[in-house]
Amino acid sequence: MVNKQKLELTWIGKDTPIKVEPRILVHDPTKDYGDKTTDNMLIYGDNLLALKALEQDYAGKIKCIYIDPPYNTGSAFEHYDDNLEHSIWLSLMKARLEILRNLLTDDGSIYINIDFNEVHYLKVLLDEVFGRSCFQREIIWRMGWLSGFKTTAKNYIRNHDTILFYTKSPTGYYFNKEQAYTSWPEYQERFNSNVKKEILQKLEQEGLTTDKAKLMVEYLTTIGMPTRYPLEDTWNCSIYDKLNSINVVSFSGEKVSKMLGVEEIKGQKSEALIKRIFSISTNPGDLVLDSFLGSGTTAAVAHKMGRKYIGIELGEHCHTHCIPRLQKVIDGTDQGGISKAVNWHGGGGFKYYYLAPSLLNKDKYGQYVISKEYNADMLAAAVAKNEGFKYAPSQEQFWKQGQSSEADFIYTTTNHVGAELLSAIAQDMKPGESLLICCKSFDSGLSSRFANITVKKIPAALLGRCEFGKDNYNLNIINPPVLEEEEE
């Protein structure tokens, strides 16, 4: 007998499935901005729940995914608590990756930014979820030499993260080779001789010796800003880090940034990096997604590049940072990042959504009941999604609230269903049609009255399918980082 045991990564709890509730998304038009007809979405809420909410309508529709998940470094930071137990991190990532794969188009791709703590475990996990043949490249994202840490480092100094590049299909994926190995226009023609002379004069006025000022100019304009390189050579290094690397620590990043005519860099994600990825793996009009949106970099770049986007973020900074940033992009007042390279002057819009509360919650007696926040329309949409139906109320027949096929429908009501109503619906149905009725109560014997009509009682019919009442799968992010500006 042939042993069919497969190579895989195992951990405690791997075989215990995470039963995520398929919630509905609630549109809040008061937070929309710009073009009212836009397909761009900003979603506020836990990203695993949000991904599950998207899965039914967006499976197979997203061309490119970029995510920068918490790295599980085992140490606490000012804004992150990444100290997750290793197996929990893997379980939560696996649940997300399985949905992300379902969301990709057949020619789509995913880029995952990760550091050394989990990159090798994540690589094996991705091999299992996507298939080893769908692994395309390990991309090194260089961060520059952080010389300020030389005296405290235990051994070698870390100066890069890794981006794992996978595709939905081993061979049939979209990849623009011309974009992968061409110059970055945003870096060309930036430092001509006159600009170099001007920067040199400003540095000397600030007190640097001529030799050191020349060294700084050459470093920043020649080494720090290459004009031709593949994605692997992308720099994620702030101006201040570059100054540190040549031992010029008396000048703040803000001061030198102004000399160079760029904005100070404090974010982790580079607009130029995201632009590079989208240029290689998408075309204008394609749909992209970032489920760890952070300060909004991916959405901002997608907007400027004419890509449709879905951004998901948890935490109040979704409102204090992501929304204002995208508003500036739409208004055309955001001229940082890639704006000049793509000649961005504004336009477009986004729609704002948030996750509905859990459909079922326990009452004071410990019994599951329908959440009070749900009105009739929300209930019908949520029950339809839980039962695998697409919510699409008919204008002609009230009992056709959703369907799973051309002839299979669902009807949800909070009213009692009696024999008279059921008979009336049965007479209205066409040959070959079937119907699922979900209600709070119904007359005895109705469940078997008609062969093409099934009657279920809610909430009992929904119990056991998923984790109702759970709002937090957020990888233990206590307070996502407050980011100001992104890299040029």
- Is the residue at 469 inside a domain? no
Which domain does 249 fall in, by range? Answer: 191-224+235-260
- Is the residue at 177 inside a domain? yes
**57 and 177: one domain?**
yes
How crowded is residue 384: how many other Cβ atoms within 10 Å of its Cβ? 27
- Is the residue at 159 inside a domain? yes
**283 and 153: one domain?**
yes
Q: For residues 386, 350, 295 and 231, what is the CA-based torsion angle, rounded to 10 degrees?
A: 100
Domain boundary among 355, 379, 408: 355
**285 and 253: one domain?**
no
Q: In sequence order, what E strands does 211-307 have?
A: 287-290
Distance, C-alpha 450 to centroid of its chain: 45
pLDDT tens per residue, the chain (488 residues)? 555 667 788 888 888 889 999 999 999 999 999 999 999 999 999 999 999 999 999 999 999 999 998 865 554 344 444 445 678 888 889 999 999 999 999 999 999 999 888 899 999 999 999 999 999 999 988 754 444 444 455 777 777 889 999 999 999 999 998 887 765 554 444 555 666 677 677 777 767 677 777 766 665 555 444 433 344 433 334 444 444 454 443 444 455 555 544 443 344 468 888 999 999 999 999 999 999 998 899 999 999 999 999 999 988 889 999 999 999 999 999 988 889 889 999 999 999 999 999 999 999 899 999 999 999 999 999 999 999 999 999 999 999 999 999 999 999 999 999 999 999 999 999 999 999 999 999 998 888 899 999 999 999 999 999 999 999 887 654 444 344 444 33
Domain of 283, CATH number, reads: 3.40.50.150
- Is the residue at 482 inside a domain? no
How crowded is residue 394: how many other Cβ atoms within 10 Å of its Cβ? 12
- Is the residue at 11 inside a domain? no
Domain of 374, CATH number, reads: 3.40.1350
- Is the residue at 7 inside a domain? no
Question: What SS3 string covers 162-230?
Answer: EEEEEECCCCCCCCCHHHHCCECHHHCCCCCHHHHHHHHHHHHHCCCCHHHHHHHHHHHHHHCCCCECC
- Is the residue at 421 inside a domain? yes
**38 and 178: one domain?**
yes
**255 and 134: one domain?**
no
**298 and 171: one domain?**
yes
- Is the residue at 113 inside a domain? yes
Task: Please state, in angstroms and rounded to a whole number, the distance separating the CA atoms of residues 360 and 223.
Answer: 58
Cβ–Cβ < 8 Å for 231, 180:
yes
Domain boundary among 355, 388, 414: 355
**333 and 388: one domain?**
no
Domain count for the chain, please give it: 3
**370 and 247: one domain?**
no
**209 and 106: one domain?**
no
Closest CA to 239 of 222, 256, 223: 256
**180 and 35: one domain?**
yes
**167 and 67: one domain?**
yes
**180 and 204: one domain?**
no
pTM summary value: 0.81
